């Protein structure tokens, strides 16, 4: 695990356990960096995650503070579907409907910012939550960016494979959310009526090095879809 991620988890554990209380000011960066035997840059990366999750607030000239009302665990797409739902105590199972390597055509090359003829994973999965079909995911990933992906990993957690096996950090994603209608095949997979509304989430996801590694379209049943986010004003500290 990256040093900054380990520090983030330790700081979060202290907050969750009450070692650092609500509205309390955190120790200064130099002091924490010395405690964790890391650079202040590494510490800042750990703190950035806490700020992004809405757990810590930075105040110009004053330091960093624990939010007075700690938020619930963020419902973030960067965790991947399996981990996101398991955080709520629900069980996710996956049925892979298609898993193959294809050559990028004009349309798919544009989706992943690649070139014609690039090798891409083409993956279609139906995700069930507590045995209820809930999401259909259509995914393209460049083989060179996510090497060695197998059907078994697609049946488990692709994001887990990227972070745990490839040791790559998932940095960010851009989402576009629209409403779609289930076609005949999708209605069969989700056990719903043909034409029923679905929440259509189109996503491009990026690694820590800025490389785009995924273009996906996830179609959710309306009653199951929930998106929570935290808005944080960017502050440049001196």
- The DSSP-derived string for 175-206 is EEEEEEE--HHHHHHHTS-TT-EEEEEEEEEE
Write out the two tokens for 79.
Answer: 């965790």
Give me the domain span that covers residue 106.
77-224
DSSP-derived secondary structure letter, 166: S
For residues 91 and 197, membership in a common domain is answered with yes
Q: Does 238 reside within a domain?
A: no
Bridge partners (DSSP) of residue 179 are 199
CATH number of the CATH domain containing 37:
1.10.10.10
HSE-CB for 134 with a 13 A CA cutoff: 18
For residues 29 and 106, membership in a common domain is answered with no
For residues 193 and 89, membership in a common domain is answered with yes
For residues 189 and 121, membership in a common domain is answered with yes
pLDDT value, residue 70: 46
Q: How many domains does the chain have?
A: 2
Q: Which residue has the higher pLDDT, 73 or 224?
A: 224
Give the dihedral sign, CA 15/19/25/30. Answer: negative
pTM above 0.75, yes or no: no
- Mean pLDDT, the chain, whole residue set: 87
Q: Does 206 reside within a domain?
A: yes
CA dihedral 94, 100, 105, 106 (to 10 degrees): 10
Per-residue pLDDT, averaged over 127-138, amounts to 95
Q: Out of 39-43, 123-127, 129-133, give the one with best mean pLDDT.
A: 123-127
Residue 16 has pLDDT above 90, yes or no: no
HSE-CB for 154 with a 13 A CA cutoff: 24
Bridge partners (DSSP) of residue 96 are 125
Confidence tier at 238 by pLDDT (50, 70, 90): very low
pLDDT value, residue 24: 83
- The DSSP-derived string for 33-57 is HHHHT--HHHHHHHHHHHHHTTSEE
């Amino acid at each position: 695990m990256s040093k900054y991620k380990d520090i983030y988890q330790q700081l979060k554990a202290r907050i969750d356990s009450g070692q650092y209380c609500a509205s309390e000011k955190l120790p200064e960066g130099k002091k924490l960096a010395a405690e964790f035997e890391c650079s202040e840059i590494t510490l800042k990366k750990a703190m950035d995650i806490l700020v992004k999750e809405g757990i810590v607030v930075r105040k110009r000239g004053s330091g960093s503070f624990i939010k007075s009302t700690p938020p619930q665990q963020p419902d973030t797409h960067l965790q991947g579907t399996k981990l996101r739902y398991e955080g709520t105590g629900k069980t996710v199972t996956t049925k892979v409907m298609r898993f193959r390597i294809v050559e990028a055509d004009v349309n798919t090359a544009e989706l992943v910012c690649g070139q014609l003829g690039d090798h891409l994973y083409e993956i279609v999965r139906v995700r069930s939550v507590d045995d209820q079909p809930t999401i259909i995911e259509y995914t393209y990933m460049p083989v060179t960016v996510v090497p060695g992906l197998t059907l078994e990993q697609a049946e488990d957690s692709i994001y887990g494979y990227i972070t745990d096996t490839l040791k790559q950090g998932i940095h960010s994603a851009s989402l576009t959310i629209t409403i779609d209608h289930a076609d005949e095949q999708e209605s069969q997979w989700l056990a719903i009526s043909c034409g029923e509304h679905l929440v259509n989430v189109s996503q491009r996801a990026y690694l820590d090095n800025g490389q785009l590694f995924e273009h996906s379209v996830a179609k959710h049943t309306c009653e199951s879809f929930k998106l929570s986010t935290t808005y944080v004003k960017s502050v440049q500290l001196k």
